Chains A and B, each alone.
Chain A
Amino acid sequence: MATVEMNGKTFEIDEDGFLLDYNSYCDEWVEYVRTQEGIDELNDEHWKVVKVLQDYYEKNGIAPMVRVLSKLTKFKLKHIYELFPSGPGKGACKMAGLPKPTGCV
């Protein structure tokens, strides 16, 4: 199993770099994904996306559809990509500690 380290914490990740255990999500994980994503500084909008994803995931056990994410955050699709260059799945969901999306992706 692959692991990564950030600021003294170690995380187990899958082959695409998603966190294996949602419960090990913490600030250090966010910092790790921020550097991977090439985001200079996280602002309130990044955090809003992360919180919305986590609330939805904790309630429903799956990530929301992108349309639902847009509705809940009131951010346009393009803006979500501006915040997370890899997009809502590979960028935002990864930062929020959600598992990798499956299916035809």
Chain B
Amino acid sequence: MTLLSQVENPYIITRLDADQRGENLLECLSCGACTSACSWFDQEGGPVPRLIMRAALMGLDDLIVQSGALWDCLLCNRCTQNCPMGITMSQIIGQGRSHPDARDQIPEDIQKGVKTRLEVGDVNGLTKEEFVETVEWLAEEFVDEMDDPQATIPYDQEGSKFLYLPNPRELGINLLHLTAMAKLFYASKETWTLSSRHTDVTNWGYFINDEEVARKMALMVVEPAEELGIETLVLSECGHGYHVLKTLTEKLIGRKPGFDVISIPEFVMNYVDNGVIKLDPAIHPFKVAYHDPCNLARKSDLYDPPRKLLAHCCEEVVELSPNRENGICCGGGGGMLQDSSSKPKRMLTGKAKADQITAAGVTHVAAPCLSCHRQLGEISAHFKLNVAVDTIASMASKCLVL
């Protein structure tokens, strides 16, 4: 066996970061608790967390790079939650993904998305002109829908209190979701705006673990937001987008951004609490299971506001078991959902979630992340779960009493 001392310049272990608790790899007890917590556990051919830990520790980068584990891993950190020493798997896999020998493993869609985002400003390639035309068109329909000539979907309004940062889907294929979010801002009676200079909550620099790319993408959000002079940036329901902007940005850009960052369910919950937004739970007269997106829950400590909001939007919130910090990934995390060739794989990684939903005996599931939302819908169809899937903010929008 090759030992660390015999391997020349091991890449992964020397790059692990003390801030993110990746540095404690040497504390690995080799117990295998990580492996038993993995969504791939019952599936053939998936990554074996314990093997990855040991290989990284011994400097056997090649073994990890060639194992296929780097892009099969969902970065959900459930293994980390289970680890008695708290070794952070997403750090190890992240460093593996940025290994020079692993660059050609980056899924084609992710490579393309990163390039497009850096060049155009939106991962789907939406240009500023297209953004303006789309938003102005939606705003016209919004006036009719709200039956209020003052109703608006504003953009580039300096000095607004809130800036909403959409998910690219909301400006592409799922425009109705953007209109639903506009209704929530309308109901809050606050000043808000979109920005034509940054339209995209995603940061795929995180998926490829390229700090320079992640830093550029974070600045593409931070600088225009500061120039608009907003107080609070409200993020679309996006797991990794929230994780990066809420918990990693200060480190990435080397300073605190000049505004607060919250997710849209938190924003709505604040205005439910102060009595401005009123919701009618009878709109959804059924029980709804809450799904914890890994990036929001385990990785960013956001557990209660979306649950509290969901409780105002339906008959009863059902907890999946296990949940919160022990919750199970939807099966599409870590960039897997963003790779359009990954469907067969995602129906393996989604099995544990599907079983959990079946055991809960519900007809509806809701998640505050549009990626989880899509994956949950696909596993519902694949495993014939017959559950309807929605996002928390979208359910809140349907419950508005105006």
A binds B: yes
Asked if B172 contacts A70 (CB within 8 A), the reply is no
**Complex contacts, A48 vs chain B, CB 8 Å:** none
Residues of A within 8 A of B344 (CB): 15
Residue numbers in B under 8 Å from A76 (CB-CB): 141
CB distance from B330 to the nearest CB of A (A): 16
Q: Which of A65, A100, A102, A105 contacts B130 (CB 8 A)?
A: A65
Residue pair A104, B138 in contact (C-beta under 8 Å): no
Would B172 and A104 count as touching, CB distance under 8 A? yes
Taking CB as reference atom, which chain A residue is nearest B346? A15
CB-defined contacts of A70 to chain B, threshold 8 Å: 137
Which chain B residue lies CB-closest to A88? B173
Q: Is A78 among interface residues, defined by CB-CB distance under 8 A?
A: yes
Q: A15-B343, A65-B130, A77-B141 are in contact. Are A104 and B176 (CB under 8 A)?
A: no
Contact across chains for B173 and A102 when beta carbons are under 8 A apart = no
Q: What CA separation (Å) do A16 and B124 show in the bound complex? A: 19
* Alpha-carbon distance A104/B122, docked complex (angstroms): 10
Cβ-based interface call for A81 (8 A): yes
Give the interface residue-count category, chain B.
Answer: 20 to 34
Establish whether residues A105 and B133, one from each chain, have CB atoms under 8 Å apart when the complex forms.
Answer: no
**What are the residues of chain B within 8 A of A77 when measuring CB–CB?**
138, 141, 175-176, 179
Complex contacts, B116 vs chain A, CB 8 Å: 103
- Residues from chain A with a CB closer than 8 A to the CB of B134 are 65-67
Size bin of chain A's contact surface = 20 to 34
**Contact call A102/B109, Cβ cutoff below 8 A:** yes
CB-contacts of B156-206 with A (<8 A): 167-169, 172-176, 179, 202
Cross-chain contact of B113 among A66, A81, A101, A103 (Cβ < 8 A): A103
Tell which of B113, B137, B202, B343 touches A67, judged by Cβ atoms closer than 8 Å. B137
Question: What is the CA–CA distance of A78 and B145 in the complex, to the nearest angstrom?
Answer: 10
For residue B150, which residues in chain A have a CB less than 8 angstroms away from its CB?
A: none
In the complex, which residue of chain A has the Cβ closest to the Cβ of B204? A104
| A87 CA / B174 CA spacing, docked (Å) | 8
Residues of B within 8 A of A15 (CB): 343-344
- Check B343–A104 contact: CB distance below 8 A: no
Known contacts A103-B168, A104-B123, A104-B202, A87 near B173 by CB under 8 Å: yes
Q: In the complex, what residues of A have CB within 8 A of residue B173's CB?
A: 66, 87-89, 101, 105
On whether A104 and B340 interact (CB within 8 A), knowing A81-B176, A87-B173, A88-B173, the answer reads no
CB of B125 within 8 Å of the partner chain: yes
Instruction: Give CA–CA (A105, B109) in the complex, Å.
Output: 11
A105 and B170 CA atoms in complex are apart in Å by 9
Task: Tell me whether A104 and B124 are in contact in the complex, defined as CB-CB below 8 angstroms, given that A66-B173, A67-B134, A88-B173 are known contacts.
Answer: yes
Given A16-B343, A65-B172, A88-B173 in contact, is the A104-B113 Cβ separation under 8 Å?
yes
Indicate with 1 or 0, residue by residue over A91-105, a CB within 8 angstroms of chain B CB atoms.
000000000111111
Asked if B36 is at the interface of the complex by the 8 Å CB criterion, the answer is: no
CB contacts (< 8 Å) of A103 on chain B: these are 109, 112-113, 116, 123-125, 168, 172
Please give, as numbers and ranges, the residues of chain B lying within 8 Å of A66 by CB-CB distance: 134, 172-173, 175
- Hey, which chain B residues are within 8 Å of A105, CB to CB? 124, 169, 172-173, 374
Among B172, B173, B174, B179, the most chain A Cβ lie within 10 Å of the Cβ of B173
Task: Indicate if B358 sits at the interface (CB-CB under 8 A).
Answer: no
In the assembled complex, which residues on chain A have CB atoms less than 8 Å from the CB atom of B24?
A: none
Provide the residues of chain A in CB contact with B202, threshold 8 Å: 104
Q: Does B363 contact A (CB under 8 A)?
A: no
A104: B residues at CB distance < 8 A: 113, 123-124, 167-169, 172, 202, 338
Q: What 6 A-B pairs have minimum CB-CB distances, sorted nearest first?
A: A15-B343, A104-B168, A103-B124, A89-B173, A102-B340, A104-B123
A sample of 24 inter-chain contacts (CB < 8 A) reads: A15-B344, A65-B134, A66-B173, A67-B130, A67-B133, A67-B137, A70-B137, A71-B137, A76-B141, A81-B176, A87-B174, A102-B109, A103-B112, A103-B116, A103-B124, A103-B172, A104-B113, A104-B123, A104-B167, A104-B168, A104-B172, A104-B202, A105-B124, A105-B374
